[in-house]
Amino acid sequence: MSYQSITNMNQYSRKTCIHLLIAADSVFLKYCNYMSYFASLPLRPLTLLKNLILTLFLILFLLSGKAYAYTLNSQFLTNQIKNSVADQISSIMPGKIVVNVKSIPYRNIDIPPGKLKINVSVNLRYFTPNTIARVSVLVNDKEITAFGVPVRLQVWDKVWVATDTIYRGETLSATNIKVENKEISLNAEKAIKENILLEGNLVRKNFVPGEVIDMRFIESVPTIMKSSQVSLIFKTRLITVNLSGEALANGKMGDYIKVRNKNYKKDYIGKVIGVNTVLINL
């Protein structure tokens, strides 16, 4: 991984360099005064020589391995966190992932030379729009620092939405739903994507225009609809009797629903065995 950071001296190295330069300047000036006194030499050539030696000393000091450090600025860390979190969320959640890093507890992080590695982890077991990213900064596999960063996640995808008010029990059709690219961060796992055919299904709650269709409130068209006329088959060990009746609930094949015999005005529980046909074992 490239550093993409500013190379500079750390605070300790700068202070050390300043103290050494001050000490060297003081010693060299005393030496020059001593030499000019005895040799009657002009001070200007000695001053130029002093500056040259101090410059060479500074260059050698800066080139020494201990004087260097790398600074990771907050922008570099933010980009690393965004990219890593987006890749991880994309592995469990389809759609476009947008990551916003709220704040980083460091402006800059000074690190020694070496192989840089930044580990970022988030909770992938439970998706939530607001979470914490755990960040570890390592150099040569040694942890330099670790911290948590609050992040905001946005998920965008093409999903089914209501184009008109849809009331509970109504059937979905091309006239009341359409596909739109919507942010579904708060309902990412329940929003119905465009690749799922919805027409002909029933809704179990009211939907307002623009609302994303939630799979928890969708059901396929039942074999028997509530209030529809049904054929009731009463069966015993000896006889079978067919009577007309009314379904008091929706039901699919194999479901047990309540039905009412109109002639006797009595309710029964029977099994749905076909279209508008309910079996009642007595």
Q: How confident is the model at residue 169 (pLDDT cuts 50, 70, 90)?
A: confident
DSSP state of 221: P
Query: Smallest Cα–Cα separation from 272: which of 258, 255, 259?
Result: 255
d(CA 66, CA 253): 78
Q: Measuring CA to CA, which residue among 249, 72, 79, 250 is closest to residue 145?
A: 72
Tell me what the pLDDT averaged over the chain comes to.
82
State what percent of residues in the chain have pLDDT above 70.
76
Per-residue model confidence (pLDDT) at position 13: 47
pLDDT for 225 = 85
Longest CA–CA span in the chain (Å) reads 140
232 CA to centre of own chain: 54
Question: Given the structure tokens 């000695």, which residue do they identify?
Answer: 46
Least confident of 17-21, 96-100, 271-275: 17-21
pLDDT for 38 equals: 44
| Average pLDDT of span 169-196 | 92
Q: What tokens does 130 get?
A: 């607001």
- What was the pLDDT predicted at 223? 86
pTM for the model stands at: 0.60
148 pLDDT more than 60: yes
**CA neighbor of 177 nearest in space, from 157, 156, 145, 200:** 200
| 265 confidence band (pLDDT: 50, 70, 90) | confident
Q: Give the range among 34-38, 49-53, 141-145, 157-161 with minimum mean pLDDT.
A: 34-38
* 19 alpha-carbon distance from chain centroid: 49
**Amino acid 99: pLDDT:** 96
Q: How confident is the model at residue 22 (pLDDT cuts 50, 70, 90)?
A: low
The pLDDT score that the predictor gives to residue 67 is: 42
Rounded to whole angstroms, how far apart are CA atoms 41 and 6? 45
Can you name the residues that pair with 150 across neighbouring β-strands? 132
Integer Cα distance of 181 and 158 in angstroms: 4
Question: Of 26, 17, 24, 22, whose CA–CA distance to 59 is shortest?
Answer: 17
What fold does the segment set 229-281 form as a domain? SH3 type barrels. (2.30.30)
Separation CA 108–CA 75 (nearest Å): 9
pLDDT score at 47: 63
The two three-digit tokens of residue 69, written as one number: 């450090």
Residue 176 has pLDDT above 90, yes or no: yes
- Measure the CA–CA gap between 190 and 229, rounded to whole angstroms: 34
Task: Tell me if 108 sits within 8 A of 93, measured CB to CB.
Answer: no
Architecture of the domain delimited by 157-219: Alpha-Beta Complex (3.90)
Q: What is the pLDDT of residue 193?
A: 92
pLDDT digit string (tens) for 24-64? 556 555 555 545 544 554 545 556 555 666 666 555 555 54
**Residue-level pLDDT at 179:** 95
Going by their DSSP bridges, the two strands 202-203 and 177-183 should be labelled as: unpaired
Q: What is the C-alpha separation between 146 and 143, in angstroms, rounded?
A: 7
Q: How open is the CA angle 169-170-171, to the nearest 5 degrees?
A: 125
Share of the chain above pLDDT 90, in %: 52
Report how far residue 238's alpha carbon sits from residue 253's, in angstroms, rounded to the nearest whole number.
Answer: 25
Distance CA 68, CA 272 (A): 80
User: What pLDDT is attached to residue 23?
Assistant: 55
Least confident of 8-22, 166-180, 253-267: 8-22
Per-residue pLDDT reduced to its tens digit, 75-87: 999 999 999 999 9
pLDDT band at residue 68 using 50, 70 and 90 as cut-offs: very low
Region of poorest pLDDT, from 66-80, 122-136, 213-227, 239-253? 66-80
